Chains A and B, each alone.
Chain A
């Protein structure tokens, strides 16, 4: 079974880390990640940019673009995509296409700050 591990933290706290503190945390995480990589078990890892960089597409008809992160509490996180796009407009186009195929709910679009593709046997 594949498991997604979703990371939550207070972004004010993480954002206030110095470059050195941040690097120290990343180094400790890398130790854990390297172990998983060597076992061929680590898939993609992504570090997202802060929620201020987020845009939300409500999958209404017509779809509605809102600035900011997904803030509702009545819907739950059910999945995610990682898509390579030139810019936000292109990412929104992809989200609209996906939304047309599966209306209702919302997509939060967040630029990825750091990414390692990983590799897991299919």
Chain B
């Protein structure tokens, strides 16, 4: 690690807490961010000489607040700039501040900061961009790159989101238990969105977008450290870890998707898997199930199987069944049907997804899955129709390429051997 790398790390980890506290103090996002930036500039000057403060977040909050207040006074009274030392000389004050910061406020400060990014009027893409900018402190350039848009477009998106948040009334009083849990749910959903933005990338962009997955995991861990006894936050963190653990195995060298069954499982990240499994174990003790825990448990069953044929599909079918009750959605049923096809065969699975066709008539995966079931049953002509439809709905070239592979196989097998496919 270079001489200044530790400062970057310290500033990044302190950021949510510092900006959150400054926001509570100034009640204005721009002022809070500017105060934080100023504090960082002073940290870059002071820390290399004086060493790291005992509590970097407390230091940044204190300095950020003082600088901002001085700015306000100066513009008001046209006074001279105060001496740098007068601001940076924290001495005993830091201890007292750190004492007060401990525990009580900062948990709600960080939650509030994340929560304002989830404003219901903001479209999902703006929520995510705003959170990455404000909470994670990624630069506009970094965010633009991860979203595959121009820097100018991202700048505009963030500015617009900020303007909308500024108009909205941000609740600054300490939230009650119900409100806190509502905020937590909204924030968890947003973190999941950030993750999916990275996870749903196609092979050619996966590497560029992977930081989104890593940032989502960082935020989930942060949230879990603040709310240590929330089983759904344990579930969320576990889910992200277990899914991201497969990152290195999900695409081939040409960027084409490799399905779970065909992935090289030795490429899965075992450290992430162990952590994910440990978190689910912890969550289960609470006997308060929820959608993230169930999805994490499904991921865990895949992670536990050293070979695809050792996957516990019966249990996965049951878990999707529970998820269907909790969060009814045709997409969940579609996923369950895949498990059903492994347990009870493609016929049963096909029956299960038939009623979904109307609601999923524009959903790529529906036709991909339907085509695969039909192919397993040897109904190749119908399979071809479904695959054609899937290709027309594909969101990425990798998705289309994957379906084309099935079509090629159909072409090859469309001669006498076709019926043997049903026995697979």
Contact = CB atoms under 8 A, between A and B. Distances in A.
Given A113-B274, A113-B275, A13 B9 contact: yes
A87 B277 CA distance: 10
Interface string A45-59: 000011111010000
A13 B13 CA distance: 9
B218 to A, nearest CB: 8
A88 B224 CA distance: 18
Given A52-B225, A67-B234, 5 more contacts: A53-B279, A66-B229, A88-B282, A111-B278, A113-B275
A72 interface: no
A66 B224 CA distance: 14
A12 B13 contact: yes
A119 B237 CA distance: 36
B269 interface: yes
Interface of A: 10, 12-13, 15-16, 19, 49-53, 55, 65-68, 87-89, 111, 113-114
Nearest to A86: B281
Contacts of B274: 49, 111, 113
B228 A50 contact: no
Instruction: From A13, A51, A52, A87, name the one whose CB has the most chain B CB atoms within 10 angstroms.
Output: A52
B221 interface: yes
Q: From DSSP, what is the main secondary structure of chain A's interface residues?
A: mixed
13 contacts: A10-B13, A12-B13, A13-B9, A52-B237, A52-B279, A66-B228, A67-B234, A67-B282, A89-B281, A111-B274, A113-B271, A113-B275, A114-B271
Contacts of B6: 13
A26 B352 CA distance: 49
B45 interface: no
B282 A49 contact: no
A52 to B, nearest CB: 5
B54 interface: no
A13 to B, nearest CB: 5
Contact of B275 (A10, A12, A49, A87): A49
A50 B228 CA distance: 13
A114 B229 CA distance: 25
B343 to A, nearest CB: 25
Nearest to A113: B274
